[in-house]
Amino acid sequence: MERKNFNVNGKKYELITDPEEKLVHVLRKQLGLMGTKMACGNGQCGACTVILNGGLKRSCVVKMKNVPDGSVITTVEGIGQPDSLSRLQRAFVKHGCTQCGFCIPGFIVSGTKLLEENESPSREDVRHWFYKNNNLCRCTGYKPMVDAVMDVAKVMRGEEPDSFLDYVEPADGTVWGTRRPRPSAKDKVSGACQYGADIGARLPAGTLQMALVQAQISHGRILNIDTSKAEKMPGVERVITYKDVKGKNRIYGVVVFPWSKTDGFERPILCDEKIFQFGDAIAIVCADTFAHADAAAKFVEVEYEELPAAMNALDAMEEDALEIHPGIPNVYFEQKIIKGQDIDQALEGSEYRARGNFYTQRQPHLVIEPDVGFSYMDGDTLVIQSKSIYIYTHRAMIAAGLGLDPTKIRMVQNVMGGTFGYKLSPTLEALCGVVTLATGRPAYMEYSGYQTITYTGKRAPVFMDMELSADKDGMLTGAKFDFTMDHGPYSEFGDLLTAKILRNVANGYHVPNIYGSGRAVFTNHAFASAMRAYGAPQSQFGSEVLMDVLAEKMGLDPWEIRYRNVFRPGSTSPTGDELDVHPLPGLLELVKPKYERLKAESREFNRKPEGTLRRGVGLGVGVYNVGTDMADSAESRIELNPDNSVTIYNTWEDHGQGGDMGVLQTAHQALRDLGIRPEQIHTKLNDTAFCPDSGPAAASRSQFVVGNAIVNSCEKLMDAMRKDDGSFRTYEEMKAEGLETAYTGNFTTAPFCTMIDPATMQYKPVITYMYAVFLAQVEVDTSNGKTRVVSMTGAVDVGKIGNRLLVEGQIYGGMAQGIGMALSENFEDLKKHTTMRGCGFPTILDVPDDYEVICQETYRPQGPFGAAGCGELPTTAPHPAIINAIYDACGVRITHLPATPDKVLAALERV
Ligand code: MCN
Ligand code: FES
Ligand code: FES
């Protein structure tokens, strides 16, 4: 140990520290400065950035022995507090930089230093600064951060008044449709927001710290687990194995369609007989500190017989492939979609046909916040707090495995740093639960950056053959396709995903004849989970690329073929349902001027004979459902408080998309007649102990489905409060008259939808859809195959907009994930794809500064105040727009993602 003196945020501290300890841990654990975030742990993401003796440092890689005595340190808390924010923090709030907010302290510290050094940065200076200092963000697409820094610089130079940095409320008090920052924004920019690890660090003495013993192979039979050595290690209190699990020891994987060949109980909480994938949990070491638990975990000896591993779906379908779950075929779910007449006749009778073979990769979610959770007993109830985005259903998914009645489990969602869908599957919830049930003690678990990448769900890779056909007028006549989806070893929602992929091919276009078949296959690679636009990026990749191939065959412009075929009144979707609105022609018209301009610019650019750079432009049409299939329901409760404020209770889980703001804007609009101010609307969210079940924050459903339930509850309350003269009773008057002051509202899509026809998949799955047209301009370096996105635009229709900051932020962030999917992201190689950078995380320089969102607002008749959904739209089809732009630039069509430089170069060599 060393004794040193530091000045942290202007305060003097004498600290005794372990020279090998990282600065981030000393700040967080010894000084309680939780604003500095621990994320990747290897210096790649910048979430832990602090100013140390005048320079920016990533505190997760700085050991205390390298922090000199007398050091001066500034963390985000030293820059500004929620009630005294710095200029940059205010600008971050105003520009909506705080989605999940987990990266934000790092950006604030980094941006503050930049502005200290340079009062007049250019946008490129700002972009290069954040790049140089490794500030990564997965939610925002970076543009709002650059806008915020530029605004502060203007104020610093006296070009704008100080008030320029704050949101100005409209005089009439409107919230709906404005750019009002979300309620959690001030806490997020100042480091005051408490995430799972921040609460976890303050759990009571005696809390068990958990470390996992994980499989180092991908497939095997367990012969023996010997915990004796580990049990004797310092600080170890218990080593838990499957023998300690009191229930079925399986997580229920929710079988949506009963014709699936699995019952959904494949995934062990702790492996008992077999290992199904790399990283599977075999044992949990519980100790007084994480260091002790982690050290002891290495002494748990697992004896196994290694089995041949099927690392992709094609291998798992080979005749001699082992059944991964003995007794269940590896191809565990098969489904067809059939619309219209005989597909072969339709194709053969068509003037033009285009075929292709496509592959979309195992895309990693790449959240900045590591997976984290904890559990404890409250009386006879097991409480689990985690990053769950489906709290009621997760309770049901783990209850039988733990041997508990679901009502004896209380699930709470912690504030979280992004999930992008991976948390539709439980991760460590059941592991925490097992430890608390076995010991009666609170238990805490935090995955490392490595574990978060290697042991959480991924977007399911898909191999797809596809053919599209069109008549002589360029009108689509048919779509035929067949795909195989690699779902890893666990079935969770894999049947639903198969259906989503089937119904999203050529979605957005009226295709009279469709025949598609698909299958979900167990493999030994990472289990698949939900990921933003679940299913659509796989389908719309192939069909959007083939639209361009068809256009070329016909001599039509790619814009024109899309314009002719997109949904119009009378069109039907791939599942044969009619659409409530038809926004796509309008969206195409909105992007047309920029499309033409970028095309002309690219042609001009390419005219230069010298150099190896070539530019091109591409389009992608994206469509996605709003809501889960067939019967999507939600409840929400409202209570009138004695001070005449209200409290809303529901489970609109907040990944970072803005559940808090969604609730506020919807309730405020619904309660407008009451004249209530936003500060009078309180929320108690995402706790099964007192919130009704509003379903998951998935399927871009919350604004639409939960929003409608909120409106319904508000209407019920207002009906009860309304007097004959149209004015409203106060709380006191309600009580005096014996009137109820709390109401539960509900909404279900069931009356508007129809059940699936298992033979043809012709049905009405949802009420409404959201629509986008993506426009990309790229620059390909033909000497090395490197692609740079120069311009990216998303023209979107999400119905009436509840909050512009939220919607623009969603689209910016999602399009950046599309850039990653197109060019760099992958989780395939278990050795290489294990860090954020190794997985191809897009940096600020990978996202162009010409980055635009154009909104068209088509009123949705069934939506709350005309809104549809938004969250998943931006990842539907930005990647085919980029791939189409690569073709336009240099004549190579990449059909297997991601389009890494080696693939582009190899394709160029073949041209
Ligand atoms: N919204 C709006 N006006 C509309 C439509 C939506 O203001 N017309 C707002 C909503 O109030 C909400 C946001 O936009 O704050 C997204 O709304 P919605 O589409 O209803 O989606 P959910 O709230 O159900 O959020 C889930 C969705 C999904 S499925 C994934 S995955 C996802 C996403 O949103 N993961 C995210 N966005 C994410 N954003 C961040 N930062 N992090 C994630 O993990
Ligand atoms: Fe330190 Fe990522 S750079 S946590
Ligand atoms: Fe940057 Fe979520 S706001 S990672």
Specify burial of residue 899 (Cβ count, 10 A radius: 0-12, 13-18, 19+).
buried
Q: What is the mean pLDDT of residues 792-820?
A: 98
What b/e string do you get for 867-883 counting C-beta neighbours within 10 Å, with b at 16 or more?
Answer: bbbbbbbbbbbbbbbbb
Q: How far apart are the first and last CA of the chain?
A: 64
What pLDDT score does 108 carry? Answer: 98
Q: What is the mean pLDDT of residues 641-667?
A: 98
Ligand 3 pocket, residues with Cβ under 6 angstroms: 99-104, 137-140, 368, 417-418, 656
DSSP letter string over 331-390?
A: EEEEEEEEESS-HHHHHHT-SEEEEEEEEE-------SSPPEEEEEEETTEEEEEES-S-
pLDDT, tens digit, 9 for 90 and up, residues 667-694: 999 999 999 999 999 999 999 999 999 9
Gap from CA of 654 to ligand 2 centroid (Å): 23
Gap from CA of 24 to ligand 2 centroid (Å): 9
What pLDDT score does 14 carry? Answer: 97
Q: Considering just the CA atoms, what is the radius of gyration of the chain in Å?
A: 27
Half-sphere exposure for 57 (CA within 13 Å, toward CB): 21
Share of the chain above pLDDT 70, in %: 100
pLDDT, tens digit, 9 for 90 and up, residues 192-237: 999 999 999 999 999 999 999 999 999 999 999 999 999 999 999 9
Question: Which atom of ligand 1 is nearest the CA belonging to 389?
Answer: 26
Q: In what order do the strands lie in the sheet containing 220-226?
A: 274-275, 220-226, 301-306
- For ligand 1, whether the C-beta of 659 sits within 6 Å is yes
Q: Kindly report the average pLDDT of the chain as a whole number.
A: 98
Beta strand 646-650 with 681-685 is parallel
Question: Which ligand has its closest atom nearest to the C-alpha of 37?
Answer: 2
- For ligand 1, whether the C-beta of 761 sits within 6 Å is no
Give the model's confidence band at 378: pLDDT under 50 very low, under 70 low, under 90 confident, else very high: very high
Cα separation, 318 vs 325, whole angstroms: 15
Enclosing H/E stretch for 603 = helix 584-606
Helix axes 558-565, 584-606, angle to 10 degrees: 170
Q: What sign does the dihedral 484-464-139-710 (CA atoms) show?
A: negative
- For ligand 1, whether the C-beta of 798 sits within 6 Å is yes
Question: Which ligand has its closest atom nearest to the C-alpha of 195?
Answer: 3
Give the model's confidence band at 911: pLDDT under 50 very low, under 70 low, under 90 confident, else very high: confident
Closest CA to 558 of 500, 616, 635, 472: 616
Which residue has 């309660």 as its token pair? 671
Ligand 2 pocket, residues with Cβ under 6 angstroms: 38-41, 43-48, 58, 60
For residue 514, which phi and psi values (nearest 5 degrees)? -135, 135
Question: Which ligand has its closest atom nearest to the C-alpha of 368?
Answer: 3
> Does the active-site annotation cover 872?
yes
Contact 340, 346 (CB under 8 A): yes
Candidate list 369, 653, 852, 872, residue with the active-site label:
872
Q: 3-class SS at 636?
A: strand
Gap from CA of 34 to ligand 2 centroid (Å): 14
Q: What is the mean pLDDT of residues 586-590?
A: 98
Cα separation, 894 vs 637, whole angstroms: 50
Contact 715, 683 (CB under 8 A): no
Gap from CA of 879 to ligand 2 centroid (Å): 28
Cα separation, 313 vs 261, whole angstroms: 16
Gap from CA of 36 to ligand 2 centroid (Å): 10
268 has which bridge partners? Answer: 250
Share of the chain above pLDDT 90, in %: 99
What pLDDT score does 503 carry? Answer: 97
Gap from CA of 122 to ligand 1 centroid (Å): 32
pLDDT, tens digit, 9 for 90 and up, residues 614-652: 999 999 999 999 999 889 999 999 999 999 999 999 999
Mutational test site, ligand 2, from 26, 44, 452, max ligand atoms within 8 Å of CB: 44
Amino acid at 354: A
The CA–CA distances, whole Å, from 350 to 469, 471, 575 equal: 6, 5, 22
Q: What is the mean pLDDT of residues 3-26?
A: 98
Q: 3-class SS at 597?
A: helix
- For ligand 1, whether the C-beta of 304 sits within 6 Å is no
- For ligand 1, whether the C-beta of 627 sits within 6 Å is no
- For ligand 1, whether the C-beta of 506 sits within 6 Å is no
Mutational test site, ligand 3, from 40, 95, 100, max ligand atoms within 8 Å of CB: 100
Which two tokens mark 117? 């050094």
